[in-house]
Amino acid sequence: MLSTLNPIIEWILGLGLILWNYFVLSYGVLVFSRYVFALSFDRVFPEKLSQLNAHGSPVYAHLLDITLTLLFLLIPVFSIDAAISLYGASIVGMLYFLAVGISAIIFGQKTKSRLMKIAGILTTIYFVYLTYEAATNPLFGFSTTSGVNIITLSFVLGSFVSGIIIWSVTKYMNLKKGIDLSLTFKEIPPE
């Protein structure tokens, strides 16, 4: 009600709603290229994706990013359900941090670090709740009033299945070259 009485607040809210999408996209570009870059260094993705240009930018990682982004931008063209389904994929982030929490519990148990175990338990509890919310609250886009959004479910399951396939194929290909990818994750690389 207050915003309708003040044109300055209306403009700030309107611009904020528009600019928010650009900020999220720019963050996504940075995060995606870092993941691709790291996976390329770990030999999960092709080495080409970790190459830098003369200005120090991972151009090939960004080309992969822009290609996938443009493909996903085609989805809203087909239906409003398809557009909403993209927001439903936020459940993947919740599941990711849920896995981090469980890993912290296991790591805390192995290293006998009580603080790590407590942090892992708290993280796990919090992200179990957020995963539940993302799965059941229609505002998140994963489910609707008539059930699960099939497009979102397909995307989420497809993400996990493609990850398993990529890992399996890459591990097999590297084993043929005498490289055991599981050793990559045995220790944290130096800074």
Contact 141, 84 (CB under 8 A): yes
Domain boundaries, the chain: 1-72, 80-183
Tokens linked to 161? 């299945």
Which positions ≥6 away from 174 have C-beta within 8 Å?
Answer: 43, 180, 181
pLDDT level of residue 4 (50, 70, 90 thresholds):
low
Q: CA Rg, the chain, in Å?
A: 20
pTM over 0.85: no
Q: What is the pLDDT of residues 23-67, one digit of tens each?
A: 766 777 778 888 888 888 888 899 899 888 999 888 898 899 888
Strands (E) across 52-124 are located at none
107 CB-side CA count, 13 A? 12
Cβ proximity of 44 and 166 under 8 Å: yes
- In this model, does residue 103 exceed pLDDT 90? yes
What is the DSSP-derived secondary structure letter of residue 189? P
Q: Looking at residue 191, what is its pLDDT?
A: 62
pLDDT digits (tens, 9 = 90+) for 165-185: 999 999 999 999 998 888 877
Using an 8 Å Cβ cutoff, are 91 and 129 in contact?
no
d(CA 189, CA 175) in angstroms, rounded, equals: 21
Alpha carbons 79 and 83: distance in angstroms, whole number: 7
